[in-house]
Amino acid sequence: MGRPLFYEILEKPATSCIIGICSVIWFYIQKKHIGYQHVGLSYETAVEGHHWRIITSAFSHISVIHLVFNMSALWSLGIVEQLGHLGLGVAYYLQYTLVLIVLSGLVVLGMYHFLIQRFKIEYFRRVTAVGYSCVVFGWMTILSVKQPSSKLDLFGFLSLPISFAPFESLIFTSIIVPQASFLGHLSGIIVGYAIAWGLIHGMTNYWAVSMLGWVAVVFVFSLKRSGAYDFNFLEIESVTDPSLPSVRFIGNGRTLQMSTIPVEGVEIV
C-alpha cells in the first residue's frame, strides 16, 4: 500500500498548490460559463494587446478530461521538488515554472507569427490555445535530461520512461486528441531543452521575484488597456508623445510616464 496522500502533498508543496489553483480556476470557468475565447491565447488577441492571456491561458482548462490529464502528469513531475541533491528542488521548480509559462507562450506566438507571415497560413491567426501542457511538456523535457531514469506516471497506472516521454506524449496527444496544440506542446519542449542544457540559467529568488513583478505589471496594464477589465483606480490616457501612456492614480494627482509594452478554433495545451 502506498504512502498516505497527505505526506506526498507535503513533499510536493508547489505542485500541490498549482494543481489546486488550476482546479479552482476550472471550477470557476464552469460555474460562470466562461468560454475558451475569453481566457485563451491567440495570435490575433496578442497583437491587439491582450498580453495577459499568456498567463490566463496557461492556468485555464475547459474540459475536466483536459484538466485531469494535465494535473495527473504534473503530479508525477512534481518529483523535481524532491531532487534538491541534483540542483533542483522546490525553489528551482518555482523559478523555472515561471520561466516556462512566460517563454513557452512567447515561443508559440513566435511560431504563429512565422507561419502567418512566411507561409500565409491564416488559420494560426485566430486559433486559440488553453491549458497547462506547455509547462508539463517543459518539465518532462527537463527531467528527461536531468534524471533520465525517472518514470512518468499517468492516471496511476500508465508509466512511461521519462527519457522518451516528451516526444511520445507529443505524438500520442496529437493522434488521440485532434484539438491538442502541437505547437503549444512543442514550445514547452523547446524551452525545456533550453533550460536543461543551460541555455537559460542563472535564475535565483531575486530574479524570479523581479520577473514575477514585471509579469504582474504587464498583466494589469494589458488587462486595463485591452478593456477586458476596468481598474477604477487606474486611468490611462495619451500624452504629448503618443507612444507613451500617462498613468494616473485617481485621488492623489500623481502622473507617471512609462514605455508601452509593445475565433476560428481552439487548441488545448
Active-site hit among 163, 185, 187, 222: 185
Q: Is 204 helix (H, G, I), strand (E, B) or coil?
A: coil
Q: Is 61 a catalytic residue?
A: no
Nearest-10 crossing angle of helices 64-77, 13-32: 170
In the chain, DSSP assigns E strands to 127-130, 151-154, 158-161, 234-238, 245-249, 255-257, 265-268
> For residues 126 and 37, what is the distance between their CA atoms, to the nearest angstrom?
10
> For residues 264 and 17, what is the distance between their CA atoms, to the nearest angstrom?
33
Phi/psi of residue 247, each to 5°? -110, 110
DSSP for 157-187, written as a single string: TEEEETTTHHHHHHHHHHHH-TTB-HHHHHH
Q: Is 185 a catalytic residue?
A: yes
Which DSSP category does 131 fall into? S
Active-site hit among 42, 133, 144, 222: 133
> For residues 210 and 218, what is the distance between their CA atoms, to the nearest angstrom?
13
Q: Which residues are catalytic?
A: 133, 185
